[in-house]
């Protein structure tokens, strides 16, 4: 028996990167997967490959959330798992960042997951409970120069995760957060981001305890655990997937 047999999962930002890895891993473990993203071509192609369903959704839009959740329940009769994975990254120092840029990062990375949690409460109650997996970051523990907006959003995700765990536990809904760091995605490997930080990524990650970049599937394994019944007594908790980056001094 696969670890997610019988479960229905909505995964946001799932057309590429870590979200795509989640979609692949969940499908392989027996879940019925609905892929939510603004990248229509890539999302549609991935859904066709996996036998999943694609829905266009902007996580900052409450009506989009309502439509995606309704579509999921219409197709599969229930919703057991939400993975709030969609997010954006902007390297800007405070003195050069605009208010619009700040608000955009907060809207996608923090307001989006909050809207998602709100949208799935009733369907999960109807299903007898569920699991919400919110994607934070190592930047939800320790901030870096140029990432004030991103860090604020990811620290915020830790907070709303714990508050929701307190509120929803009695309904059988578990809420936990994932904290990736140093994962080789298109976003992280974008040369513009390396130039913005001044960090030699390869040299930096070779110095980690595990000595390599993380892979999207490294994070997906943790998400499968949190979505599965194996984590039935876990709520309000945090899982770091960072190759040991935060385990010692120097970050």
pLDDT tens digits, residue range 24-52?
999 999 999 999 999 999 999 999 999 99
**C-alpha closest to that of 181 among 106, 240, 238:** 240
In sequence order, the β-bridge partners of residue 175 are 132
pTM (two decimals): 0.93
pLDDT, residue 250, reads 58
Regions of the chain short of the pLDDT cut 70: 186-202, 204, 249-251
Q: What is the pLDDT at residue 192?
A: 56
Nearest to 163 by CA among 114, 104, 128: 114
Looking at residue 200, what is its pLDDT? 56
Residue 49, classed as helix, strand or coil, is helix
Domains of the chain: residue spans and CATH: 8-184+216-236 (3.40.50.720)
Tell me whether residue 96 is exposed, middle or buried, using C-beta atoms within 10 angstroms of its C-beta: 0 to 12, 13 to 18, 19 or more.
Answer: exposed
3-state helix, strand, coil in the chain (%, to 5): 50, 15, 35
Per-residue pLDDT, 190: 58
Q: How far is CA 83 from the centre of its chain?
A: 6
* The pLDDT of residue 89: 92
The confidence score (pLDDT) of residue 199 equals: 54
Q: Write down the pLDDT at residue 213.
A: 85
Alpha helices in 36-137 (DSSP H): 40-50, 62-76, 99-106, 112-126
Residue 226 C-alpha from the chain's centroid? 12
Q: Which residues are catalytic?
A: 150
The gap from C-alpha 199 to its chain's centroid, in whole angstroms, comes to 24
pLDDT of residue 93: 95
Rounded Cα–Cα distance for residues 152 and 110 (Å): 9
Query: Is the Cβ–Cβ distance between 203 and 197 less than 8 Å?
Result: no
User: Residue 149 belongs to what H/E stretch?
Assistant: helix 148-168
Edge-to-edge strand list for the sheet holding 8-12: 53-56, 32-37, 8-12, 81-84, 130-135, 173-180, 238-241
């Amino acid at each position: 028996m696969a670890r997610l047999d019988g479960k229905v999962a909505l995964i946001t930002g799932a057309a590429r990167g870590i979200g795509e890895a989640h979609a692949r891993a969940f499908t392989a473990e027996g879940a019925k997967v609905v892929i939510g993203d603004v990248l229509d071509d890539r999302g549609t192609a991935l859904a066709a490959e996996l036998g999943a369903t694609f829905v266009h959704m902007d996580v900052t839009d409450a009506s989009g959330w309502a439509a995606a959740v309704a579509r999921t329940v219409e197709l599969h009769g229930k919703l057991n798992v939400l993975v709030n994975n969609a997010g954006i990254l902007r390297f800007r120092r405070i003195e050069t960042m605009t208010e619009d840029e700040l608000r955009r990062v907060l809207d996608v990375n923090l307001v989006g997951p909050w809207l998602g949690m709100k949208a799935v409460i009733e369907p999960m109650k109807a299903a007898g409970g569920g699991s919400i997996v919110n994607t934070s970051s190592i930047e939800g523990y320790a901030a870096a120069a140029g990432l004030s907006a991103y860090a604020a959003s990811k620290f915020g995700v830790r907070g709303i995760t714990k508050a929701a765990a307190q509120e929803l536990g009695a309904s059988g809904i578990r809420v936990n957060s994932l904290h990736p760091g140093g994962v080789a995605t298109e976003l992280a490997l974008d040369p513009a981001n390396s130039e913005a930080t001044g960090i030699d990524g390869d040299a930096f990650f070779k110095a980690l305890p595990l000595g390599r970049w993380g892979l999207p599937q490294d994070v997906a394994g943790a998400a499968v655990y949190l979505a599965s019944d194996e984590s039935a007594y876990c709520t309000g908790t945090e899982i770091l997937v960072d190759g040991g980056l935060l385990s010692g001094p120097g970050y």
